Structure 1
């Protein structure tokens, strides 16, 4: 396994401005150290899947999704495949209307357009940049809070099961077989998934496969190859799953 690529964030004690941003390209298997900021942080993925472990949960931001980290929240960020993301740091005095716990966000079309502008990082003057960032914070407040795209569990047996599926998304064992393999009854596993994940194990597995597929699609891997790697007998079966989870076919999603 490739060793983790540790990326140290800028060591600011105070922000250079009330709203400050940086665009970061992370290599495969990139990670940040444990952090806790005295300001809020909005993270948006341009490409790849950015992951965040905070407060016993894992939040994922596939391309064009985001998560919010309030001031004082413990966090560890990482990515399995190369990513490009932007972090927008916001002084706590401007965060009153944002959630007070880490959450996943569904980015509005207007905010997405401004984030695309921000990726270019070319402004005539700092006042122009500051105005855009302030409008962006206003629009962040309008982003719907959504369920964690790929929630985790602290229950030991379920946690081990989910970790195994993370490592082998092509695993096609049934729910009953997986339950027995991890010392659970099928009924107990279904109950734990409903309680801890808020969804069935089948839906969680499909989301996990969709996340893996997104990274492969952005590396120009063919749909047929992805389908086989993820355990599907046909490309059409994979496409139907992906569309059900992401709302678009693989080709349309990546093109968007």
Structure 2
């Protein structure tokens, strides 16, 4: 039986955290697969770090996606919603706007240092009272580290157009699919030219570029899990590792192995 696209499946609505009680505050949560955080915003910036799974944050119909060990940065007062296609364990550091002067003014993925990964793991494993001096010191060290984390704008534009949304959901679930633009268009009873026009209008890019961005983000998650470059290339539909490496390097300015070594978590 053909699986329904995600937007046609029932999604559990989770409670967003809008009652933050300190300038620096951290929370750890587990979100089940096929669940959403409704749109919300507040005076706290958010550094969202996924320990397991891949989180998707939607801002003005742009999807910011981050696998471990990288984090999403959301500036204060930015309305956003969240989607979890799979089970996700994550921690969120809430940073009041008064402490955000040295942090980016736009949303994006922070390529945080190994120390950030270690601090997040420690804070999750050894919870303390939120007012405990040691706990507060660790939060400030974490904040200092985020000041130096590079911000990258890798993202996947989103579309509410029914036919295009169906195709994007399908490709999310089948990143190795080799269907041509013409084949995908025929599956939705439209012409190749019409689908190409929808992509440029709704996504601001070709479908081929969107698919490459998707594969980069999928690859980041696989690299974190320790999978080999060869197996990642095959899982993403490449005939050999060289083609995958060249594509990844065009987007991230480093090979997959270089990227893993630079930004791998201490846990590995």
Q: Normalization by structure 1: what TM-score?
A: 0.74
* Structure 2 unpaired stretches of 5+: 249-254
For the residues of structure 1 that align with 2:207 and 2:173, how far apart are their CA atoms?
22
Residue 50 of structure 1 deviates from its aligned partner by 0.9
Aligned partner of residue 40 in structure 2, secondary structure? coil
Do residues 3 (structure 1) and 6 (structure 2) align? no
Residue 195 of structure 1 deviates from its aligned partner by 4.4
CA contact (8 A) 1:153 1:196 kept: no
Aligned partner of residue 32 in structure 1, secondary structure? strand
For the residues of structure 1 that align with 2:207 and 2:153, how far apart are their CA atoms?
9
Of 81, 90, 98, 1:93 maps to: 98
Counterpart position of 1:138: 144
Counterpart position of 2:38: 33
Give a deviation string over 1:23-74, Cα, whole Å, max 9, x none: 1111111221221112111101111001101122100110111111111111
For the residues of structure 2 that align with 1:206 and 1:23, how far apart are their CA atoms?
28
| 107 and 166 in structure 1: CA distance in 2 versus 1, 3 angstrom threshold | same
| 91 and 162 in structure 1: CA distance in 2 versus 1, 3 angstrom threshold | same
Counterpart position of 1:183: 191
CA contact (8 A) 2:52 2:88 kept: yes
Aligned length, in residue pairs: 244
Q: Name the stretch that deviates more: 116-125 or 239-248.
A: 239-248
CA contact (8 A) 1:166 1:208 kept: no
Counterpart position of 1:171: 177
Do residues 59 (structure 1) and 64 (structure 2) align? yes
Do residues 45 (structure 1) and 50 (structure 2) align? yes
Q: What is the correspondence of 1:1-256 to structure 2 with a 5 Å cutoff? A: 3-12=10-19, 15-123=20-128, 126-148=132-154, 150-154=155-159, 156=161, 161-175=167-181, 177-178=183-184, 183-185=191-193, 195-196=204-205, 200-207=209-216, 209-210=218-219, 237=240, 241=244, 245=248, 247-248=256-257, 256=268
CA RMSD of aligned residues (A): 4.0
| 31 and 239 in structure 1: CA distance in 2 versus 1, 3 angstrom threshold | farther
CA contact (8 A) 1:37 1:71 kept: yes
Give a deviation string over 1:119-146, Cα, whole Å, max 9, x none: 2133487111111111211211111111
